[in-house]
């Protein structure tokens, strides 16, 4: 089941304007790596945002600001603990996922590894400074995610393989959105293991996004 890229133009506009929560920004980047139509929609939004940026008056930066940013990045990378990949074979599959997810998943594995909430289901928490809960799920063929509802909107982006529920089947690049009134029981499709990026709550679209949307006529 494929969702039209235009349905999510608000997300793409917010991403281009730099106002999108990190979890949802990851979702946009990853879906763009999987689908040409999404990549093109994001490019249009970025072009519109670029025109707005060029019209803005430049703000001065403090002396040494760039050096301090790079130093903070290096310090954060040095603190990442290491775990042996042999502890859980699923880490090896991560290397074939879309590029925006790979490093984050490696770091999450090093911090705490996979959790197993149900038989045939593995979950990796991607702590990326988001207001939302951002997780990578691994669903074995035929494995069932227990029936559940949602306290807020849940976005599920399939990265590899596929799963099905009462609303249809979802494959790589498909984005499913469930709300508080939805109850479902996802089941991994036969064949390839399903990997999905799942984001719960935390979505806030504000600021320059509205201006970009009006420029795009959406």
| Cα(48)–Cα(16) distance, integer angstroms | 8
The residue segments making up the domain with residue 184 are 87-200
How far the first Cα of the chain sits from its last, in Å, is 23
Q: Within a domain: residue 118?
A: yes
- At residue 11, the pLDDT reads 80
The CA distance from 130 to 133, in Å, is 7
Residue 24 lies in a domain: no
Q: What does R_g of the chain's alpha carbons equal in angstroms?
A: 19
136: domain CATH number? Answer: 2.60.120.10
Task: Report if residue 187 sits inside a domain.
Answer: yes
Please name which of 1, 84, 212, 6 lies closest in space to residue 92, comparing C-alpha atoms. 84
Highest mean pLDDT among 34-48, 63-77, 176-190: 176-190
Inform me whether the pLDDT recorded for 188 exceeds 90: yes
Bigger pLDDT: 126 vs 82:
126
Distance between CA atoms of residues 152 and 133, nearest Å:
11
CA distance 164 to 139: 11
Quick check: is 216 in a domain? no
pLDDT of residue 30: 96
- pLDDT at residue 7, as a whole number: 56
The mean per-residue pLDDT over the stretch 63-70 comes to 70
pLDDT, tens digit, 9 for 90 and up, residues 125-138: 998 999 999 999 99
Q: What is the pLDDT of residues 10-65, one digit of tens each?
A: 788 888 888 889 999 999 999 999 999 888 888 876 665 454 444 555 566 667 76
Question: Is residue 49 assigned to a domain?
Answer: no
Assign 124 a pLDDT band (cuts: 50, 70, 90). very high
Q: Can you give the pLDDT at residue 213?
A: 36
Return the half-sphere exposure (C-beta side, CA atoms, 13 A cut-off) of residue 95: 4
Name the strands in the sheet holding 168-170, side by side, starting at the edge strand that comes first in the sequence.
Answer: 168-170, 163-165, 187-188
Check residue 127 and give its pLDDT.
87
- Specify if 22 maps to a domain: no
**Mean pLDDT over the full length of the chain:** 78
Domain count, the chain: 1
Q: Are 145 and 186 in contact (CB under 8 A)?
A: yes
């Amino acid at each position: 089941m494929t969702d039209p890229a235009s349905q999510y133009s608000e997300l793409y506009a917010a991403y281009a304007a730099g106002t999108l929560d990190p979890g949802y920004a990851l979702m946009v980047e990853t879906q763009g790596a999987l689908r040409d139509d999404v990549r093109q929609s994001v490019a249009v939004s970025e072009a519109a945002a670029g025109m707005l940026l060029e019209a803005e008056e430049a703000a001065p930066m403090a002396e040494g600001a760039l050096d301090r940013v790079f130093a903070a990045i290096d310090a954060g990378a040095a603190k990442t603990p290491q775990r042996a990949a042999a502890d859980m074979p699923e880490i090896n599959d991560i290397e074939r996922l879309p590029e925006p997810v790979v490093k984050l998943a490696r770091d999450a594995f090093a911090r705490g590894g996979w959790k197993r909430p149900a038989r045939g289901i593995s979950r990796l928490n991607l702590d990326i400074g988001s207001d939302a809960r951002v997780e990578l799920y691994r669903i074995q063929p035929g494995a069932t995610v227990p029936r559940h509802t949602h306290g807020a909107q849940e976005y599920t982006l399939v990265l590899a393989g596929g799963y099905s529920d009462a609303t249809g089947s979802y494959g790589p690049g498909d984005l499913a959105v469930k709300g508080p009134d939805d109850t479902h029981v996802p089941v991994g499709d036969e064949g390839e293991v399903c990997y999905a990026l799942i984001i719960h709550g935390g979505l806030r679209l504000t600021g320059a996004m509205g201006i970009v949307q009006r420029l795009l006529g959406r």
